[in-house]
C-alpha cells in the first residue's frame, strides 16, 4: 500500500530513495568506522522535538557530521518527511532513519571486525 504522501514524494523526487539515502548511509557507515555514532537519545538532543525547517534541519545534520549536504539534498529530506506540506519536518521521522542507519553501520563494523579477526587480518 502506498500512502498519498509517499506518492507525492515519489512524483516530486523519484531519486530520493536510491541516490540520497545511499549517500547518507555510506557517510554514516564511514562515520561509524571512525568510531563516531549516535543512538536515539543523542539524536533527540540534537534534533529536538519541535518541527524543523530547512535551516534547523541543516544545523542538526551538521552536528552529526552531515554538514556537507547541499541545499537541494536538505530540501529532498524535508520533501520526504513533510507530511503536512508546510516545509517542516517532525524530527522523529528523519531521526528514525538516522538511528537505523547508525545501528546498521555499527553492525556492519562489528561483522567486518569479526571477519578480519577470523581470517587473521586484525593486526
Note whether residue 29 is domain-resident.
no
Note whether residue 86 is domain-resident.
yes
Burial class of residue 34 in the structure, from the number of CB atoms within 10 Å of its CB (0-12 exposed, 13-18 middle, 19+ buried): exposed
Between 15 and 119, where is the model more confident?
Answer: 119
Helix (H) or strand (E) holding 97, with range, is helix 92-118
Q: Where are the beta strands (DSSP E) in the chain?
A: none
pLDDT digits (tens, 9 = 90+) for 33-54: 566 666 777 878 888 889 999 9
Q: What is the CATH number of the domain that holds 63?
A: 1.10.238.10
Note whether residue 72 is domain-resident.
yes
Of the candidates 105, 82, 107, 93, the one whose C-alpha atom is nearest the C-alpha of residue 24 is 105
Separation of alpha carbons 70 and 95, rounded Å: 19
Note whether residue 2 is domain-resident.
yes
**What's the chain's average pLDDT?**
75
**List of residues 6+ apart from 114 with CB closer than 8 A:** none
Note whether residue 61 is domain-resident.
yes
Note whether residue 87 is domain-resident.
yes
Note whether residue 27 is domain-resident.
no
Of the candidates 52, 18, 38, the one whose C-alpha atom is nearest the C-alpha of residue 100 is 38
pLDDT of residue 56: 92
Note whether residue 24 is domain-resident.
no
> Is pLDDT at 6 greater than 60 in this prediction?
no
How many other CB atoms are there within 10 angstroms of residue 18's CB atom? 9
Quote the cell numbers at residue 26. 555510506
Q: Domain range holding 45?
A: 1-8+37-112
> How many domains is the chain partitioned into structurally?
1
Confidence label for 7 from pLDDT (cuts 50, 70 and 90): low
Amino acid at each position: 500500500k502506498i500512502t498519498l504522501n509517499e506518492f507525492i514524494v515519489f512524483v516530486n523526487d523519484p531519486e530520493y530513495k536510491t541516490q540520497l539515502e545511499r549517500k547518507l548511509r555510506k557517510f554514516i557507515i564511514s562515520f561509524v568506522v571512525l568510531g563516531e555514532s549516535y543512538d536515539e537519545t543523542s539524536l533527540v538532543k540534537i534534533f529536538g522535538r519541535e518541527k524543523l525547517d530547512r535551516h534547523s534541519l541543516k544545523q542538526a545534520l551538521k552536528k552529526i557530521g552531515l554538514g556537507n549536504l547541499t541545499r537541494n539534498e536538505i530540501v529532498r529530506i524535508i520533501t520526504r518527511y513533510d507530511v503536512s506540506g508546510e516545509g517542516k519536518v517532525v524530527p522523529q521521522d528523519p531521526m528514525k532513519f538516522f538511528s537505523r542507519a547508525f545501528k546498521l553501520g555499527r553492525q556492519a563494523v562489528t561483522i567486518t571486525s569479526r571477519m578480519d579477526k577470523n581470517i587473521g587480518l586484525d593486526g
